[in-house]
């Protein structure tokens, strides 16, 4: 079942890149007591994700934070090394690049998609959320394109 507005995020262990390598983090720690914009992409370094989705958040990070957002988090079913390299290549220093290497978070949210026909395996759907103290306040899912999950759309909703 897909997570809904009003639901509390599941507590899942994921990874971010730390100074000494991948570090484990819990979603409860990332989202608890904070207002967070979370967006997910099907894959790091993929065309739409690299050309438009992540760059939009990089460009608008200050405007989003000015709306009272504590953190902006990008997640994908990729490992911490890939997410870190992608973030660096996109100058996403102000965005937490959250690795969901096994797809546990996407699965727990009910937001996976099967890309095995394209040799990509099980991936996250493209979605964006506004989360307040671990509770989903806004959930937008895009099956194609960036109509409802762009930085501009989230900025307007804040």
Strand partners, 35: 132
Q: Sheet of 126-132: strands edge to edge?
A: 21-26, 13-18, 96-99, 71-76, 35-40, 126-132, 135-142
What positions carry a catalytic annotation? Answer: 49
Q: Which residue has the tokens 């608890």?
A: 32
Are residues 6 and 136 in contact, defined by beta-carbon separation less than 8 angstroms?
yes
DSSP string, 98-153: EE-TTSHHHHHHT-EEE-GGGT--EEEPEEEEEEETTEEEEEEEESSTTTTTSHHH
How many beta carbons lie within 10 A of that of residue 16, not counting itself? 18
């Amino acid at each position: 079942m897909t997570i809904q507005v009003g639901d509390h995020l599941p507590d899942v262990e994921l990874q971010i890149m730390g100074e000494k390598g991948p570090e484990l983090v819990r979603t409860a720690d990332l989202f608890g007591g904070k207002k967070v914009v979370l967006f997910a992409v099907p894959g790091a370094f993929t065309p739409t994700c690299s050309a438009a989705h992540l760059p939009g958040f990089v460009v608008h990070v200050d405007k989003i934070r000015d709306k009272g957002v504590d953190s902006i988090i990008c997640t994908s079913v990729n490992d911490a090394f890939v997410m870190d390299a992608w973030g660096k290549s996109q100058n996403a220093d102000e965005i937490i690049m959250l690795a969901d290497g096994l797809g546990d978070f996407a699965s727990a949210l009910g937001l996976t998609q099967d890309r095995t026909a394209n040799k990509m395996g099980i991936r996250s759907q493209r979605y964006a959320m506004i989360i307040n103290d671990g509770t989903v306040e806004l959930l937008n899912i895009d099956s194609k394109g960036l109509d409802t999950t762009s930085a501009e759309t989230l900025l307007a909703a804040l």
